[in-house]
Structure 1
């Protein structure tokens, strides 16, 4: 974010109007049971679900659109200051730190406003906050979907860090949504092949061919490693690549190399698992990279699907929905684990350590650990529709009871109220 020209002096000295503004802005928070939430919006994932959950809870939300590019401008700051007085929020909320600047200027503004900010990470904080100074603030509470990132975020200096998993919008993902006959399949998979993001990263790193080549060579090892993050893996196993990473000219290039390792590992991981589905003629929905990567024959293809318009109707058209999680989250579960059972459909997913705290294994969720297990599990669940339906019913009951986004927003409010009321 470029340094904004604030519409009121920051200190308020020498200006009765400015002083009066800050007096109006710095108000007691969390005085009523239903909070008022100022939400940064950009059309990004999860923002729509937050709005829906808050509406169902009876909370008032003021949506503050972010400028193009996701960073603040003077006009954005003016709208933020106006909303702070006119809407009088109890707290502000952003996803993945969107809208915040690397220098911490906007965070300092929240401190002046005495307005708490919640930032909910649903992608790797390491890849978002790479080499950023000035991010921690006592007025910023951080929530993360991945329990493995709680300690690293605390180590960055954030004083309030809480694990807050993903969930489902059970109004959007509900049984009875109409799908298309073309989506009918015994087995289906929805996901990105990672071909496009990798192509973009390779282009940006072409000036560093040795580092790029070593990162691609290291990907299979990282995919199989218990190390959660690419940089930790480099430090533990690849001294030459780590030295090349350290020698890169700037933070963006270092991030690009970490992402290359993560996305190539994810590509290989997903490919090895989706490929085992060939005997069941699965429907693979996603980018064109799948056609180039998967073996010829045995697969049906569909283009990318819209999350909210298509997926609620797509999942119930398959007897078995298959999941292979991105390796930016080796311990956490992704959105599909909640959405598929929410709409009354069956999911076979890769096991994640954090899964067992969310669903009862074997009764509410079915997992594979190695690719060799997949064909046998798929065959069993295709051949036993009664078992499949019983598990779906139990999983959906769990989602409705504990894993709707209203549950996550209530948990967030409890944390924010405890710290800032």
Structure 2
């Protein structure tokens, strides 16, 4: 570690830190992003850092140039590391983040809970000062091997839950949502892909053809399926077209369109009368069941606790990563019906703790099973809650981060 990082204005303060040893308190600069769930995840991580004995300055991501200059001026030699989710999300800040790192010269803990390539990675990060974590195991492995990434391997760090926010509530005389609930958007919002999807001709015919194959087994890697389809359509080997920028845009557009189709069809058929919360796009598909938007936190906890089960459908930007719903609903002790992914087998006991499906038809069977066999569903839900509390809270995630920093000599 550079000498500059070892010097501390708080060098007289000592406290038992995360490794149980008496040592100077580590100082973290935490930049809070905007968004729906991100501010809450950030707050839970900051709380966990502090509970484990770290000194955290928690401030919003600076968006204006004057704010960035002031922060750089006032932060010199004041921190041992920085923490940020999804590079702060704001594009103007992301464009300046690498310069920001080079000026401060402290290690940055960057936790991606969305596809890093959507935030300019790897060009947006300075390898020397970057310690990357990603919620999706396959994405972490793939980007660690990216030819343009010269930094440390990206470490797998799945999402988690905060038991102070998500927990069981006193049961009302009857469930509010007897047919289950889904909370989420119709699609992964991306203005560029929305515009591109409209501009690419003949997308509906190709989309129908690919969906027919994809819907037979939703565990298929969608990107691989799309590249195979495009290679056949172009009459060229897949490897020869993968570097083509236009081909990459085609893949992203179709992943976007098929992700939206999967979510709409899955929610429409798997809930079959349940309630839907999310963006206004749901009104076009399920007007009788759309309940509007809902904030992340206490209101969402009440909705989960008032439901017979929580439905989970993953977005296309996730290769194998689990969504927030699995952890939050699980922490509430509510049954979860989730799309299967290999990471379920790593993080949960799928036979004892969750209900999972690989096709919509299998999901319908699992839905009926959990609605009919209520004692079994509740036992699984309680087992899932125990699993989350033992292994999947933000305190567990912060411990994982600190252990990784310790191994890196920080």
Tell me by how many angstroms 1:234 deviates: 4.8
Distance 1:310 1:244, change over 3 A: same
**Cα distance in structure 2, aligned partners of 1:150 and 1:197:** 22
Distance 1:408 1:100, change over 3 A: farther
Name the count of aligned residue pairs: 381
Alignment counterpart, residue 71 of structure 2, candidates 79, 84, 87: 79
The root-mean-square deviation of aligned C-alpha atoms, in Å, is: 3.6
Alignment counterpart, residue 288 of structure 1, candidates 280, 284, 303: 280
**Cα distance in structure 1, aligned partners of 2:252 and 2:170:** 36
What do residues 307-357 of structure 1 show as CA deviations (whole Å, max 9, x unaligned)?
114211110101111111112113111111110021121111111111111
Counterparts of residues 113-262 of structure 1 (less than 5 Å): 113-129=104-120, 133=123, 135-156=125-146, 157=149, 158-176=151-169, 183-194=176-187, 197=189, 201-203=193-195, 208-210=199-201, 220=211, 228=221, 230=223, 233-239=225-231, 246=244, 258-262=251-255
Which residue of 1 is the match for residue 307 of structure 2?
318
Which residue of 2 is the match for residue 5 of structure 1?
none
Conserved in 1, the CA contact under 8 Å of 2:94 and 2:119?
no
**Cα distance in structure 1, aligned partners of 2:96 and 2:190:** 32
- Tell me whether 308-317 or 283-292 shows the greater mean CA deviation: 283-292
What do residues 83-103 of structure 1 show as CA deviations (whole Å, max 9, x unaligned)?
343xx3221011112368799
SS in 1 for 2:408: helix
What do residues 28-74 of structure 1 show as CA deviations (whole Å, max 9, x unaligned)?
58996253221111234122222232344343221232234xxx725
SS in 1 for 2:128: coil
Structure 1 unmatched runs, 5+: 1-22
Conserved in 1, the CA contact under 8 Å of 2:219 and 2:340?
no
**Cα distance in structure 1, aligned partners of 2:61 and 2:94:** 18
Corresponding position: 1:47 with 2:42: yes
What do residues 226-284 of structure 1 show as CA deviations (whole Å, max 9, x unaligned)?
66464x55543314689799465xxxx966x55432221111112222222365x2112
TM-score using structure 1 length: 0.78
Structure 2 unmatched runs, 5+: 18-24
**Cα distance in structure 1, aligned partners of 2:5 and 2:296:** 39
Conserved in 2, the CA contact under 8 Å of 1:25 and 1:113?
no
TM-score using structure 2 length: 0.80
**Cα distance in structure 2, aligned partners of 1:103 and 1:373:** 42
Counterparts of residues 340-419 of structure 1 (less than 5 Å): 340-419=329-408
Tell me by how many angstroms 1:179 deviates: 9.1
SS in 2 for 1:325: coil
Which residue of 2 is the match for residue 107 of structure 1?
98
Conserved in 2, the CA contact under 8 Å of 1:284 and 1:301?
yes
Which residue of 2 is the match for residue 328 of structure 1?
317
